[in-house]
């Protein structure tokens, strides 16, 4: 593979084996940027790997580029933290006549390269948050603001988030009064998709450590989403998107409150420092709570009742009107029957039923029948004593006059007859004689 193509530039690259000041030797190119080139090398005397950052050859004579390199060397020289890449030396090679910066070599991928494989798990994102926030807090305590916190400037050695390193303090700005700041001054510096609102002139435009807090919030949101939040566009879009908290989308609920706090547009509403961000723990995340019973609501006072919801008043009025309209029907359905409501049933008795009262029979043991209206030994209707008695026809049922419905009237049993009548014995025993009122005056033969 062409090293120039892999290096991302068509400019001539420094060949391997080139020595710098007799101290370091270049091994291979790593990356190239807008202002410099980065190579992997080693110390000639010890063989320890180092990262060597050189100014581009076409900018070697530019005072602005040289000032940025010197500022980065000064920032790294005063920082000692495990999460920040270590500084070794800053000088100019007399042969190449190019300034270079030798620093700690970190063997690992950038965070942006790792996120191409998918979002981070919650535990990994939490370790990354604590690690990067602690390193930036160390820089802030020494008056240094990074101003370019992005996934490209975070290296993950061996994929271990607890060993993450912050690199590229090239546009770092010092807040100490005795320092002159950077050549960029207090204006814009950084990548558009990760800069804070104040870096674009909003909310007073003052760059403070809270600017790095905002940028780190966007980095953490991207780590949990697996894709960056769209904060770019034209100049108007870039400004408008930083007036509100961006939509975080599928961000873990345990880290969402912290990220939303970090992405507040107004710097005064963000965490007080990176130490507060680094101290965020899992127990600070909201947990689902069981629903609690609601306390009993106090009764409305008379003066409060008039201030009730208009919809409730309208519904109550509609129910009252409906009840008034249905009152007559409810009363008729629930009213008990009075004297006028009693049933009047006809008591028409057919002539055949009246005539049968004079021809009642008495059946005795021996099979003879007696009649009150005929001769001895003659049954009703002129039948012989041995003949079976004729079956009586039932009287017609009375008809209820109240509702027009046919109802069955209870039959009042005759005294003595209903009490003494018994069906024939199934075992051949003599049945008990049946005595009626008519036979009480008939003498026996």
Cα 105 to chain centroid distance, Å, stands at: 45
Please say whether the dihedral angle defined by the alpha carbons of residues 393, 395, 399 and 400, taken in this order, is positive or negative.
negative
| Residue owning tokens 């994102």 | 125
Tell me how far CA of residue 190 lies from CA of 100, 144, 382, in angstroms. 22, 15, 134
Side-chain-side CA neighbours of 30 within 13 Å: the count stands at: 20
Give the H/E segment covering residue 312. helix 310-334
Burial class (CB in 10 A: 0-12, 13-18, 19+), 190: buried
Catalytic site residue from 48, 93, 148, 230 = 148
Can you tell me the distance from the alpha carbon of 314 to that of 316, in angstroms, rounded to the nearest whole number? 5
Distance CA 140, CA 169 (A): 12
Cα angle 151, 86, 14 (rounded to 5 degrees) comes to 80
Least Cα distance to 273 among 282, 262, 263 occurs for 262
Catalytic status, residue 148: yes
Cα separation, 79 vs 62, in Å, equals: 27
**Which residue numbers are catalytic?**
148
């Amino acid at each position: 593979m062409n090293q120039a193509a892999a290096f991302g530039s068509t400019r001539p690259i420094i060949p391997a084996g080139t020595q710098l000041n007799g101290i370091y030797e270049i091994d291979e190119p790593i990356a190239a940027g807008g202002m410099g080139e980065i190579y992997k090398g080693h110390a000639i005397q010890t063989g320890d790997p180092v990262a060597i950052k050189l100014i581009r050859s076409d900018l070697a004579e530019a005072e602005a580029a040289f000032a940025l390199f010197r500022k980065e060397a000064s920032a790294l020289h005063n920082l000692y933290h495990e999460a920040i890449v270590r500084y070794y030396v800053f000088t100019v090679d007399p042969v190449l006549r190019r300034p270079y910066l030798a620093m700690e070599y970190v063997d690992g991928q950038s965070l942006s390269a790792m996120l191409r494989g998918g979002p981070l798990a919650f535990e990994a994102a939490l370790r990354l948050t604590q690690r990067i926030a602690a390193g930036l807090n160390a820089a802030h305590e020494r008056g240094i603001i990074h101003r370019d916190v992005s996934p490209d400037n975070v290296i993950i050695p061996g994929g271990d988030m607890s060993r993450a390193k912050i690199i590229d303090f090239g546009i770092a700005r010092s807040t100490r009064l005795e320092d002159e700041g950077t050549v960029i001054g207090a204006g814009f510096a950084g990548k558009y998709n990760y800069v804070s609102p104040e870096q674009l002139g909003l909310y007073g435009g003052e760059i403070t450590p809270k600017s790095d807090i905002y940028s780190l919030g966007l980095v953490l949101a991207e780590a949990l989403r697996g894709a960056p939040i769209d904060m770019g566009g034209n100049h108007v879009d870039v400004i408008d998107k930083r007036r509100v908290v961006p939509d975080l989308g599928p961000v873990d609920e345990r880290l969402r409150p912290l990220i939303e706090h970090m992405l507040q547009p107004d710097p005064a509403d963000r965490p007080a420092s990176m130490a507060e961000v680094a101290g965020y723990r899992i127990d600070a995340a909201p947990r689902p709570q069981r629903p609690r019973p609601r306390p009993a609501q106090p009764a409305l006072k008379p003066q409060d009742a008039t201030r009730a919801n208009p919809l409730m008043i309208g519904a109550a009025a509609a129910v009252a009107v409906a009840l008034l309209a249905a009152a007559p029907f409810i009363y008729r359905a629930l009213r008990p029957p009075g004297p006028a409501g009693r049933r009047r049933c006809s008591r028409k008795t057919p002539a055949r039923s009246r005539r049968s009262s004079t021809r009642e029979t008495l059946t005795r043991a021996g099979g003879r029948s007696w009649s009150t209206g005929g001769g001895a030994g003659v049954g009703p209707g002129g039948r012989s004593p041995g003949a079976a008695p004729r079956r009586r026809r039932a009287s017609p049922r009375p008809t209820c006059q109240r509702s027009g419905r046919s109802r069955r009237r209870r039959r009042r049993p005759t005294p003595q007859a209903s009490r003494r009548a018994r069906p024939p014995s199934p075992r051949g025993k003599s049945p008990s004689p049946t005595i009626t009122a008519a036979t009480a005056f008939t003498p026996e033969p």
